[in-house]
Amino acid sequence: MISKLIRKNILDLHPYSSARDEFQGQKALFLDANESPYGSYNRYPDPYQTTLRTKLAAIKKIPAHQIFIGNGSDEVIDLLLRIFCEPQKDRILICPPTYGMYEVAANIHNINTLKVPLRSDFQLDLQAVLKTIHTHDPKVIFLCSPNNPTGNALKEIEPIVKAAKGIVCLDEAYIDFSEQASFLSKLDTYPNLVISQTLSKARGLAGLRIGLAFASPYLISIFNRVKPPYNVSSLNQKEALKALQHPARFKRNLNQIKKNRTELLSTLQGLPLVEKVYPTDANFILIKVKNALALYTYLVNKRVIVRNRSQLVKNTLRISVGRAAENQKLIQELKNYEKTTVN
Ligand SMILES: *Cc1c(COP(=O)(O)O)cnc(C)c1O
């Protein structure tokens, strides 16, 4: 019973009922929300983003009532904690090195974070995760596949979803770049599964802050009870909808990024200063070098900004795949750096 996992105050909640909740309809004289009668953005947005959600339902082949739209994925993460985790009591489980927001969000809510590190090949330590599920009963398990910052898709997700007594949130922010299939097709098999995706990466809409959660209709209804009433602005809904009308452009850009990734991977592999190029299913590449901080600082001075991930994986930099010319500039600077350090 999923409802047993939900915090009592959330189950008991009388959600805020907005003016747009109480009356829905298109053409009418609206004097119910204290809006100004003037201006082009004078009306509150659709609280449930119906048009955008319907479009996403068609693209993802998931019914609209199994989709929640958040103000970025960060809102999805935050809502999961609000719904399921009692501060100072419940626990989440993460598998580091991974996306930093899960633990930050847990800290904000004063929720403990259990950590089961990935193995040295950055795959899940399945036995250790299963053991921690049995001994510590985490309320929410966050899995990220393809994983940030390592880049690889995770292999043994399903046994964890099966064994979990709580919710498993599978973060598929980078799934479009991966050969591995999305877990969306398994949504109806596992009532405890929440899949999070985003329009920020492959869809190129990071500025619009559109995060998605896919789950059972029941869980989506709980998300809707807890979310801020107007969490996605009308401008953002409109622009996202507009961008989604161009599937050919999306495919072209996605293929270009994948092609650039292949080229960047092979060039990086040929550079003596790069000790290791980790395999990637995402739009970024993690590399290991002798002195990541020195290289990072050198690149910053050349106005090439990458991400130093050394605190997560020793002496590593995470490089987003850019346009061909941007990647060439990066490679040129890496070659220049090689010359300076050899002499
Ligand atoms: C970039 C990223 C997201 C996307 O976050 P938004 O708030 O939707 O922009 C989510 N998860 C991971 C692992 C990411 O790297």
Please give the distance of CA 137 from its chain centroid, rounded to a whole number. 24
Do 208 and 74 lie in one domain? The reply is yes
- Measured N-to-C along each axis, helices 247-269 and 324-342 cross at an angle, to the nearest 10 degrees, of 20
β-pairing verdict for 307-308 and 316-320: antiparallel
Please give the distance, rounded to the nearest whole angstrom, from the Cα atom of residue 26 to the centre of ligand 1. 34
Residue 311's alpha-carbon distances to 16, 66, 122, 281, in angstroms, are: 42, 37, 15, 22
Q: Which residue, judged by its Cα, is nearest atom 3 of ligand 1?
A: 173
Q: Residue 342's pLDDT is what?
A: 57
Q: Which residue, judged by its Cα, is nearest atom 2 of ligand 1?
A: 173
- φ/ψ of 316, rounded to 5, equals -125, 150
Q: At 22, which helix (H) or strand (E)?
A: helix 19-22
Please give the distance, rounded to the nearest whole angstrom, from the Cα atom of residue 105 to the centre of ligand 1. 13
Closest ligand 1 atom to the C-alpha of 71? 7
Give the mutation target among 68, 73, 321 for probing the ligand 1 site: most ligand atoms within 8 A of CB: 73
Q: Which residue, judged by its Cα, is nearest atom 11 of ligand 1?
A: 173
DSSP 8-state class, residue 39: S
Query: Residue 288: which domain range?
Result: 248-342
Do 253 and 140 lie in one domain? The reply is no
Do 46 and 161 lie in one domain? The reply is yes
Do 233 and 270 lie in one domain? The reply is no
Give the mutation target among 71, 148, 286 for probing the ligand 1 site: most ligand atoms within 8 A of CB: 148
- Residue 38 DSSP SS3: coil
Give the mutation target among 99, 118, 210, 236 for probing the ligand 1 site: most ligand atoms within 8 A of CB: 99
State the CATH number of the domain containing residue 9: 3.40.640.10
Do 276 and 183 lie in one domain? The reply is no
Do 276 and 181 lie in one domain? The reply is no
Identify the domain boundary among 191, 222, 245: 245
Please give the distance, rounded to the nearest whole angstrom, from the Cα atom of residue 291 to the centre of ligand 1. 28
Q: How far apart are CA 118 and CA 274, in angstroms?
A: 23
Do 269 and 197 lie in one domain? The reply is no
Q: At 319, which helix (H) or strand (E)?
A: strand 316-320
Do 220 and 264 lie in one domain? The reply is no
Please give the distance, rounded to the nearest whole angstrom, from the Cα atom of residue 198 to the centre of ligand 1. 7
Closest ligand 1 atom to the C-alpha of 206? 9
Q: How far apart are CA 87 and CA 175, in angstroms?
A: 31
Tell me the whole-structure pTM to 2 decimals: 0.97
What does pLDDT average to in each consecutive run of 10 residues of the chain (343 residues)? 96 88 81 94 96 98 98 98 98 98 98 98 98 98 98 98 98 98 98 98 98 98 97 98 98 98 98 97 98 98 98 98 98 96 60
Identify the domain boundary among 204, 223, 245: 245
Q: Residue 264's pLDDT is what?
A: 98
Please give the distance, rounded to the nearest whole angstrom, from the Cα atom of residue 173 to the centre of ligand 1. 6
Please give the distance, rounded to the nearest whole angstrom, from the Cα atom of residue 133 to the centre of ligand 1. 25
Pocket of ligand 1 (CB under 6 A): 72-74, 99, 144, 148, 171, 173, 198, 200-201, 206, 211
Query: What is the number of structural domains in the chain?
Result: 2
Got the DSSP string for 207-276? GG-EEEEE--HHHHHHHHHHS-TT-S-HHHHHHHHHHHT-HHHHHHHHHHHHHHHHHHHHHHHT-TTEEE
Do 39 and 110 lie in one domain? The reply is yes
Q: How far apart are CA 195 and CA 219, in angstroms?
A: 12
Closest ligand 1 atom to the C-alpha of 98? 13
State the CATH number of the domain containing residue 312: 3.90.1150.10
Q: Which residue, judged by its Cα, is nearest atom 12 of ligand 1?
A: 173
Give the HSE-up count for residue 4: Cα atoms under 13 Å, Cβ half-sphere. Answer: 4
Both ends of the chain: CA-CA distance in Å? 66
Do 89 and 10 lie in one domain? The reply is yes
Please give the distance, rounded to the nearest whole angstrom, from the Cα atom of residue 100 to the centre of ligand 1. 10
Identify the domain boundary among 223, 245, 267: 245
Do 193 and 289 lie in one domain? The reply is no
Closest ligand 1 atom to the C-alpha of 198? 8
Q: Which residue, judged by its Cα, is nearest atom 15 of ligand 1?
A: 148
Do 335 and 221 lie in one domain? The reply is no
Q: How far apart are CA 136 and CA 51, in angstroms?
A: 42
Q: How far apart are CA 255 and CA 301, in angstroms?
A: 31
Got the DSSP string for 152-213? PPPS--HHHHHH-SSEEEEE-TTGGG-SSPPGGGGTTT-TTEEEEEESSSTT--GGG-EEEE
Contact 285, 319 (CB under 8 A): yes
